[in-house]
Amino acid sequence: MTQETDNPSEATTGRIGPARRYSAIMGLSYAILLAVSVGFFLFQIDKREQAEWAVLAGGLKEHSLILDALASEVVQRSQELREDAVFRYAVALDDADSDPIAGLIETVSGRISLRTGAGTEATSTAAVSGRRDGAAGRSADAELVAAVRLLGEFRDLVSLLPTVERATYVSQRGFSMMLPATQAEADAFQSGAHPVDLLATGRRDGNPERQGRWLFATDRAGQPTLYLAVPVDAPDRFLGVIAVEISLEYLNRVNGDFDYPIGRTLIVTADDVLLAYPQVEDLRAPVGAPVAQALPTEAAAVIQRAGAVPPRHVVDVDGTLLYGEALESAPWMMIYLGDRWTIVAGLAADRGPEMLALVAVLTIMLLIAGGLTGREFVWPASQLVEHIKAAGEVGPQGLPRVPPGWRPWFRTVTNVFRENSDLVRLRQELQIAHDMQASVLPRSPLRHARMVVVGQMHAAYEVGGDFYDYFQIDGRRVGVVIADVSGKGVPAGLFMMISRTLLRAEGLGGGDPGDCLTRVNALLERENEASMFVTVFYGVIDLETLTLSYANAGHNPPLLLRADGTVVPVAPLGDLVLGVMPEIEYGSATVQLSPQDALFLYTDGLTEAFDIDNQEYTESRLIAALATCRGQSAAEIGDSCIAAVEAFADGAAQADDMTCLVARIEP
């Protein structure tokens, strides 16, 4: 005791040594804690950013499908107009017993006009301009009649498709038919006021492949104009061109509907001409100008590099997010431009408060723990070490380590963040599974001269177990499939994709439906370790004989809506579901169809739907709903039946996937 009292500096120095080392360790620990926290925060931001890019890419793909569908509809309707024009021309030319233009056209000094009261084609919104080629005889008159008969379809096209602003028939004989148009507009068009030579795009020397051409130009008023010009040919000569004028205002409005809050989409032609841009006030030049002139310099420079990046992927180009996808139905490209750092800042603002709170809590805990440990252990330990050294009993001992009791707390924090990451990844994977499942189902109706097939599915969860399919086997036969996989969720969705792939592969071979299901059952049962099964109805419709050959593996018998409004079930065959037992032979049967008959395929999600009072919809209610659909189109029949089930449910939770497919024989 005398030695401690007489030499306080030595005792103090001995205590300072371990304390300083402890302080250094605590400071290093805090620095490591900050570094790990910042690193973990940056890692989280990076993962969230990649997830945000995936969400953005998915939204852009859906947006491009919408734009492509608009262009595809215009192309399809233009082709149908061309076929109708050729047919009407041939009919008028072959009708030798009557004057083809009687009651339709008036001729004054060679100039032609629509006769008042000529019929539904002579609408007040249409106008004709030009002269009648009397020297050409009956051929010219037949073409005039065909053009007038097209006005009704022009009217339907302009009314039903907001994408279309005007439809025009331009004849090589020197006349044109327009809708909607005033007589002054038609005369100006005929005199050459249109910005491009439409006839030149339809002649065989300029268009040997006889396909529609997308034409972009600026008219005399300086307004950008976009056409789809389709040549019209008689067996022996070129008649003229059907020109569909596209509404750039509507195209830009649809393009601007992309709802991601950051960035914007634009449409560019193959010649680098700007077709659509949501914020026209930000442009240096109006829509219709080259991209390099219209867009800000930085954006134009980024777009010039679009060809060097992978399509359908969001990439970072000098801080600008770039996405490009070429449309299939038109020579256009949809491009997305967005500020990457705005997205990163938003993610950081979203996650930053949580991370700051965590660092603050850890800092306080570290300070409290360090102070308590220093006061309760380090300083007493230093005094004990000095006492032992002075007594000469034992050599110096090391400083105490961090108590093991802290380790579970750190593990808990790590697990919280790991579970959060797993949840985000699970949601992404479910969304990807949903998108993949939707992509394998037919996107558009199957249209044939004698039949229209359309299907729809309303999944109860993110991933459904139902599926439908239809495909052209050859020139006369069409296959239709509807199926229901046992179970729900991701396992059912995976088994559904396998079953759908096998069924389509076997069906495209064109064999007997029963033989096809026999082979598919053998393949499914052989590798079916999860003991799942699928009910399937597979039918082949012969469009020449109007017969349905079918096989049924335990599925609900389809319903046949006859032309007279009666509903009869297709006879069940009593065969077992697919994937359960090996070496099962599936039978097949045949049903005769008639014009205006509709075959309605469905899954039990419709008949087993429940209302809020837990009452089942039942097959009898479905038959009654289907009977009211007499005379409706295939799409209207499916919509009506689904709507009837949903109205019965009256807000009750959907317990099962609802899927239906309608194949209607045209009149």
* pLDDT tens digits, 304-361: 777 677 777 888 888 888 898 889 999 998 989 888 888 888 888 887 787 788 778 8
- Band (pLDDT 50/70/90 cuts) for residue 154 is very high
Contact predicate 155/179, CB 8 Å: yes
The highest-confidence range among 42-46, 178-182, 281-285, by mean pLDDT, is 178-182
Name residue, tokens 């492509």. Answer: 68
| DSSP assignments along 151-188, one per residue | HHHHHHHHHH-TTEEEEEEEETTSEEEEES--HHHHHH
Q: What pLDDT score does 165 carry?
A: 92
Q: In sequence order, which residues have a C-beta less than 8 Å from that of residue 243 and are 6 or more positions away? A: 167, 168, 169, 170, 198, 227, 228, 229, 230
Gap between the Cα atoms of 648 and 156, Å rounded: 35
Domains contained in the chain, CATH given: 95-246 (3.30.450.20), 444-665 (3.60.40.10)
CB under 8 Å to 523, separation ≥6 — which residues?
Answer: 502
Edge-to-edge strand list for the sheet holding 477-485: 466-472, 477-485, 534-542, 547-553, 589-592
3-state SS, residue 483: strand
More confident residue, 28 or 109: 28
In this structure, the number of other CB atoms found within 10 A of the CB of residue 87 comes to: 12
Distances (CA, A) of 85 to 123, 179, 387: 18, 15, 112
542 pLDDT band (50/70/90 cuts)?
A: very high
Average pLDDT, stretch 526-531? 77
Structure tokens at 584: 């099962």
pLDDT confidence of residue 513: 95
CB neighbours of residue 605 within 10 Å? 25
Strand, helix or coil at 317?
strand
Q: Encoding tokens for residue 335?
A: 């491009």
Q: Which of 481, 440, 428, 448 is nearest to 464 (CA)?
A: 440
Quick one: pLDDT at residue 390?
47
Least confident residue range of 210-219, 466-475, 538-547? 210-219
Torsional class of 192: left (φ above 0), alpha (ψ -120 to 50), beta (otherwise): left
Residue for token pair 């001729």:
107
Mean pLDDT of the chain: 82
For residues 551 and 440, the model is more confident at 551
Q: How does pLDDT run across 184-235, given as a tens digit for each residue?
A: 888 888 887 666 788 888 888 888 898 999 988 776 666 788 899 999 999 8
Segment 241-245 mean pLDDT: 94
18-42 average pLDDT score: 79
pLDDT, residue 582, reads 86
pLDDT at 11 over 50: no
Asked whether the CA dihedral 570, 574, 579, 585 is positive or negative, the reply is negative
pLDDT at 5: 43
**Does position 37 have pLDDT exceeding 70, yes or no?**
yes
Mean pLDDT of 623-650: 93
CA distances from 10 to 1, 377, 388, 389, 664 (A): 13, 20, 14, 12, 103
Mean pLDDT of 129-141: 78
User: Where is mean pLDDT largest: 91-95, 173-177, 355-359?
Assistant: 173-177
CA-to-CA distance for 337 and 517, rounded, in angstroms? 49
pLDDT, tens digit (0-9, with 9 covering 90-100), for 349-403: 887 787 788 778 878 887 787 777 766 666 655 555 554 444 444 444 443 444 4
pLDDT of 48 over the 50 cut: yes
**441: DSSP letter:** S
Query: Is 9's pLDDT higher than 60?
Result: no
Residue 346, both tokens: 């938003």
* pLDDT-wise least confident of 92-106, 285-299, 465-479, 518-532: 92-106
310: preceding bond cis by omega (within 30 degrees): no
pLDDT at 145: 85
Q: Hunting for tokens 């359309």 — which residue is that?
A: 454
Decide which of 551 and 133 is more confident.
551
Residue 417 scores a pLDDT above 60: no
pLDDT of 169: 94
Q: Looking at per-residue confidence, does 578 or 396 come out higher?
A: 578
In this prediction, residue 258 carries a pLDDT of: 87
Residue 520, token pair as written in the block: 């598919």
**pTM score, whole prediction:** 0.50
CA dihedral 186, 81, 122, 171 (to 10 degrees): 40
* Contact criterion met (CB below 8 Å) for 632 and 563: no
Q: Has residue 60 got a pLDDT over 60?
A: yes
- Which tops the pLDDT comparison, 249 or 115? 249
The amino acid at 238: F
**DSSP assignment of 373-385:** HIIIIIHHHHHHH
DSSP code string of 228-293 = EEEEEE-SSSEEEEEEEEE-HHHHHHHHTT---SS-EEEEEETTSBEEE-S-GGG-SS-BTBBHHH
